[in-house]
Amino acid sequence: MATNYREMSAAELLSLEPPGWGGALLDGLVVSLQVALLGYAIGIVIGLGGATLKRSGGPVARDLMSVYTTFVRAIPELVLILLAYFALPELLNNVLSVVGFGRIEINGFAAGVLVIGFVQGAYATEVFRGAIASVPVGHIEAAHSFGMHPLRIFHRITIPEMLPAAIPGLSNLWLIAAKDTALLAVVGFTELTLAARQASGATKHYFLFLLAAGGLYLMVTLVSAQLFKWLENRVSRGTRYA
Amino acid sequence: MPEQTLMKPHRLIMVLVAAVLVLTFAFMMDWAWLPKYSSEILDALWITIALLVSSIVVGFLLAVPIGLVQVTGPRPLTWLAMSFCTLIRGTPILLQMWVLYYGLGSLFPYMPGLRQSWLWPYLIEAWPYAFVALTLSFAGYEGEVMRAAFKGVPRGELEAAHAIGMHPFTILRRIWLPRAVQRVLPTLGGELILQLKATPLVATIAVVDVYAIFGRIRQETFIIYEPLLMLALIYLIFAGGIAFVFRLLENKLPARG
């Protein structure tokens, strides 16, 4: 039975129950946030590793990191998504078939998390490198002279001291991650933007649903900006500003 | 001294590895499709360049007043400019493009009189929507940058200009704007590269840019790797060119004091 969307009001169209498409939009939002959060977490891990390599790794490691950051910053995310979605599974399967394993599939979710993590990692490397450079060397040397283990120095001294400098950059990165998930719509992965597009296509109310998705994105970015502001205040307690 | 340290043994090895990789790509892979599509690729390149340059020029012209009113007021305009920047920076540009193309585009036919107006032939094409979306996005991001730049110009310079009797508009034209632009130049190269990376999104609203043409090549030839690698290479060259030009510019311009 076809539903007559033409005569429904905006509230009915956006309602969470089936004739309305609000539920589909919210599902899309949840998927978007999951991809963004996972990608962001991977990016932070890569960033911490990358920054450490750039600061104290050998010359080869440092140059390789530069190649990585340069490439990621020059190639559009859309192209990287295509590479992860179409070329990478093919490559992996060719390698796996040589080794004698079965085929694997990379779905939209995995490709999205991979690409966003990969891109975020490059930018996070720069954020963390700058922030770690702002930690006074004397503090780290003092910890060394107490005989602290390097890992312990990292999580007791370096990380707490660099966070005030890193949070603004990390906040920006999170906003980029949240917005970059929209690009997955291009490979047909149903996140918020594609959900809105599907809803608008089915109901012919294009403007309403795309605007509603925009409102949801705006809500996410505004709320997270506030959270990061609170976080920044929290981690920079006791810091003196010149 | 980067010149002296550029050629270390490990760098030579890395360059060698890169050269071997490029040569393997060039000779081992299938590039037979390239001559057949070369003229279409060139046309698409021009579309990308035209969209990039026009959206940056117009976007920057919009960004100047958007940044300025956030520093000078009046209040309603400040509020308007701030909400515009928040809106643009808070939503994905893909969605903005779709709101314009699918959303507004679906409402236009119902507006009385629009079909008869001179605008109509443009409204049924895709590229004006792409251009407007890219321009507004650049204006939003750059407006925020310009706000900080206008704010960062030392007050003393503006007061000095005021004291010798300059008209406010002359101050803006001769002192405030040039000093602000000087401040944003180092970041402008990065912004241009970000804008370059946003241009392939126009392929989603049926504008045939470089990204779209390579999508077609992939569909018609069923080749997986080569078109994607070529596409990545084209964007790398573009971004490298932008970075290079801005490096030159920065060295040419006097250091800001």
**The 3-state secondary structure of chain A, one letter per residue:** CCCCCCCCCHHHHCCCCCCCCHHHHHHHHHHHHHHHHHHHHHHHHHHHHHHHHHHHCCHHHHHHHHHHHHHHHHCCHHHHHHHHHHHHHHHHHHHHHHHCCCCCCCCHHHHHHHHHHHHHHHHHHHHHHHHHHCCCHHHHHHHHHCCCCHHHHHHHHHHHHHHHHHHHHHHHHHHHHHHHHHHHHHHCCCCHHHHHHHHHHHHCCHHHHHHHHHHHHHHHHHHHHHHHHHHHHHHCCCCCCC
A222 contact B CB<8A: yes
Q: How far is CA B139 from CA A153, B66, B76, B84, B180, in A?
A: 44, 8, 19, 9, 16
pTM of the entire structure? 0.84
Angle at A79 between CA A43 and CA B238, to 5 degrees: 105
pLDDT confidence of residue B6: 60
CA–CA separation, B101 and A193 (whole Å): 14
Please tell me the distance from the alpha carbon of residue A220 to that of residue B91, in angstroms, as a whole number.
9
The amino acid occupying position A40 is: Y
Asked if B249 and B178 count as a contact pair (C-beta separation under 8 A), the reply is no
Average pLDDT over residues B65-89: 89
Question: For residue B197, which residues of chain A lie inside 8 Å, CB to CB?
Answer: 75-78
Q: Is the pLDDT of residue B237 over 80?
A: yes
pLDDT for B61 equals: 92
Q: Grade residue B5 by pLDDT with cuts at 50, 70 and 90.
A: low
Q: How far is CA B99 from the centre of its chain?
A: 20
Nearest CB partner across the interface for B106, out of A75, A196, A207: A207
Report the pLDDT value the prediction gives residue B138, as an integer from 0 to 100. Answer: 93
Interface of B with A in 201-220 (CB under 8 A): 201, 204, 211, 218
A211-235 pLDDT, tens digit each: 889 999 999 999 998 999 898 888 8
What is the predicted pLDDT for the residue at A3? 67
Structure confidence at residue B1 (pLDDT): 40
Please provide the size of chain A in residues.
Answer: 242
Question: Percent of chain B having pLDDT more than 70?
Answer: 95
Tokens representing A148 are 């602290």
A83 and B228 in contact (C-beta within 8 Å)?
yes
Q: Which residue of A has its CA nearest to B5?
A: A59
HSE value, Cβ hemisphere, 13 Å, CA-based, for B229: 15
**pLDDT tens per residue, range A158-185:** 888 888 888 888 998 999 999 889 888 8
Looking at the complex, does the CB of residue A137 fall below 8 Å from at least one CB of chain B? no
- What pLDDT does residue A133 have? 86
Residue type at B18 in one-letter notation: A
The answer, yes or no, to whether residue B3 has pLDDT greater than 70, is no
Best of B17, B99, B108, B110 to substitute, by most chain A Cβ atoms within 10 angstroms, is: B99
Select from B107, B193, B232 the Cβ nearest to the Cβ of A207. Answer: B107
How far is residue B60's CA from residue B54's CA, in Å, rounded to a whole number?
10
**Rounded Cα gap, residues A128 and B64, in angstroms:** 32
Instruction: Give ∠ CA B214-B215-B221 in degrees, rounded to 5.
Output: 80
Q: What is the pLDDT of residue A16?
A: 66
Q: Measured in whole angstroms, how far is the alpha carbon of residue A196 from the centre of its chain?
A: 21
Residue pointed to by tokens 């450490």: A52
With 0-12 / 13-18 / 19 or more C-beta atoms within 10 angstroms meaning exposed / middle / buried, residue A46 is buried
CA B231 – CA B228 distance, rounded (Å): 5
User: Residue A135: phi, psi to the nearest 5?
Assistant: -80, 125
| pLDDT for residue A117 | 93
Query: How far B254 CA sits from the closest chain A CA (Å)?
Result: 26
A221–B91 CB contact, under 8 Å: yes
pLDDT band at A132 (very low <50, low <70, confident <90, very high): confident
Q: Tokens standing for A50?
A: 């990358």
Phi, psi of B114 (to 5 degrees): -70, -35
B28 contact A CB<8A = no
pLDDT, residue A1, reads 46
In the prediction, which pLDDT does B215 show? 85
Would the CB atoms of A200 and B8 count as touching at under 8 Å?
no
Instruction: For A185-217, write each residue's pLDDT tens digit.
Output: 888 888 888 888 888 888 888 888 888 899 999
Cα A91 from Cα A111, distance rounded (Å): 14
| Planar angle of CA B217, B193, A116, nearest 5 degrees | 70
CB < 8 Å from B in window 147-186 of A: 175, 179-183, 185-186
- For residues A202 and A21, the answer to whether their CB atoms sit within 8 Å is yes
| Residue B37 CB neighbours (<10 A) | 18
pLDDT digits over A58-102, tens only?
A: 788 888 888 888 888 889 988 898 888 888 888 888 888 887 777
pLDDT of amino acid A240:
62
Nearest to A140 by CA among A123, A162, A112: A162
A59 touches chain B (CB under 8 A): yes
Contacts of B106 in chain A (CB under 8 A): 204, 206-207
User: What is this model's ipTM?
Assistant: 0.83
* pLDDT given for residue B257 in this prediction: 47
The mean pLDDT of chain B is 84
Please, which pLDDT band fits residue B255 given cuts at 50, 70 and 90?
Answer: low
Contact criterion met (CB below 8 Å) for B52 and B196: yes
At B142-165, the pLDDT tens digits run: 998 898 888 888 888 888 888 888
Distance of alpha carbon B41 from alpha carbon B208, whole angstroms: 10
- Is the separation of the CB atoms in B138 and B215 below 8 Å? no
pLDDT per position as a tens digit, B168-194: 888 888 888 888 888 888 788 888 988
pLDDT of residue A241: 56
Two structure tokens written together for B17: 């590895």
Q: How far is CA B37 from CA B19, B34, B218, B222, B249, in A?
A: 26, 5, 11, 14, 35
CB-CB: which of B199, B211, B228 is closest to A83? B228
Per-residue tokens: A64: 């390789």
CB of A75 within 8 Å of a chain B CB? The answer is yes
* Closest-approach residue (CA) in chain A for B96: A214
Q: How many CB pairs under 8 A join A and B?
A: 115
Judge residue A28's burial from the number of C-beta atoms within 10 Å of its C-beta, 0-12 exposed, 13-18 middle, 19 or more buried.
Answer: buried
